[in-house]
């Protein structure tokens, strides 16, 4: 039996898994991410969590061929350097070299969204695709591109930032510095902003959407508009219709640019299932550039929060 170890480094948690040859996680380790910290301290956090996962799986470091890690930021995979990651305060972090010295094992470093996409490609919704795209709707819009079975990173190691393509000229200001980025409308945070804006424009607190949050706009979540729509609230329906149009616009741009066989969408908002996916497919089908013989399959991602772990573990395959 072959075993692989994957680390999913996030701004909140470090999650590690031991993955077997059937791509099942058989051992786990997890700790809170303590940042900001020195490079040495970060490597120690990673190593301690990784060894905990190995112990949980009942194997040793000698039983795995490499350590794979997915991290936020711009990653030079060839040299294992995290060139920049604002959330983790990394700048030219020599992660590969330092973690190899700490763990005495070869280390492969990749961007976290790319690792998650690779996980879906090897063991999830993108399995069997030659060209695939994974979109994750969370605080932002993450994306990872697979071309000819390989992660596409581009010249500067940061290709695939689809969330920072503009869909509304001079629209909402984005943390990246641009205005009107896709993620400002289609991330969970974007949906919350749209819901609050619609509610403030319709301040009658007897309406269902207001009752769902007990009259407190600060209780609005990514589910509020969908729940209101199901309750027959026209404000909720208006927000959901607008959200699907924004999300569909960005997805159509992705499809027209990359022509993937399969495009999978992950993140908590996808728990809406076909309520979200069915109208999205209809929207993208109308907006897809004409003449395509094979239409891109749009589906829900399958691996959830484990995609990054599994993808990181399998980076050497």
Q: Is the pLDDT of residue 18 over 80?
A: yes
d(CA 210, CA 131): 43
The average pLDDT across 209-229 equals 97
The pLDDT value recorded for residue 205 is: 94
| 40 Cβ contact list (under 8 Å, min separation 6) | 98
pLDDT one-digit tens code per residue, 56-95: 999 999 999 999 999 999 999 999 999 999 889 999 999 9
Helix, strand or coil for residue 73? coil
Is 81:94 a contact under the CB 8 Å cutoff?
yes
The two counts, helices (H) then strands (E), for the chain are 10, 13
pLDDT for the residue numbered 294: 84
- Say how many CA atoms lie within 13 Å of 238 toward its Cβ: 12
Tens digits of residue pLDDT in 236-258:
999 999 999 999 999 999 999 99
Rg for the chain, CA atoms, rounded: 21
Which sign, positive or negative, has the C-alpha torsion 282, 250, 297, 69? Answer: negative
pLDDT tens sequence across 277-308: 999 999 999 998 877 788 999 999 999 999 99
* pTM (predicted TM-score): 0.93
Cross-strand bridge partners of residue 150: 147
How many Cβ atoms sit within 10 Å of the Cβ of residue 13? 13
Q: What is the pLDDT of residues 159-212, one digit of tens each?
A: 999 999 999 999 999 989 999 999 999 999 999 999 999 999 999 999 999 999
């Amino acid at each position: 039996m072959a075993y692989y170890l994957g680390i999913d480094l996030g701004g909140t948690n470090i999650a590690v898994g031991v993955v077997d040859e059937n791509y099942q996680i058989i051992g786990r380790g997890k700790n809170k991410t303590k940042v900001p910290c020195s490079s040495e301290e970060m490597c120690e956090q990673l190593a301690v969590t990784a060894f905990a996962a190995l112990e949980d799986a009942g194997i040793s470091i000698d039983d795995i061929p490499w350590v794979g890690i997915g991290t936020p930021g711009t990653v030079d995979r060839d040299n294992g350097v995290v060139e920049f990651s604002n959330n983790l305060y990394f700048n030219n972090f020599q992660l590969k070299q330092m973690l190899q010295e700490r763990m005495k094992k070869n280390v492969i470093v990749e961007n976290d969204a790319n690792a998650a996409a690779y996980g879906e490609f090897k063991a999830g919704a993108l399995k069997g695709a030659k060209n695939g795209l994974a979109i994750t709707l969370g605080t932002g819009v993450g994306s990872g591109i697979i071309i000819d079975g390989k992660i596409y990173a581009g010249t500067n190691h940061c290709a695939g930032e689809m969330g920072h393509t503009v869909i509304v000229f001079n629209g909402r200001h984005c943390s990246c510095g641009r205005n009107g980025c896709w993620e400002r409308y289609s991330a969970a945070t974007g949906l919350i902003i749209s819901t609050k804006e619609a509610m403030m424009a319709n301040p009658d607190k007897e309406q269902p959407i207001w009752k769902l949050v007990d009259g407190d706009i600060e209780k609005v979540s990514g589910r509020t508009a969908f729940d209101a729509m199901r309750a027959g609230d026209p404000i909720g329906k208006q927000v959901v219709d607008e959200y699907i149009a924004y999300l569909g616009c960005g997805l159509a741009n992705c499809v027209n640019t990359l022509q993937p066989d399969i495009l999978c969408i992950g993140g908590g908002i996808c728990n809406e299932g076909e309520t979200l996916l069915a109208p999205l497919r209809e929207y993208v089908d109308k907006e897809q550039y004409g003449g395509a013989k094979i239409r891109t399959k749009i589906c829900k991602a399958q691996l959830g929060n484990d995609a990054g772990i599994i993808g990181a573990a399998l980076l050497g395959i």
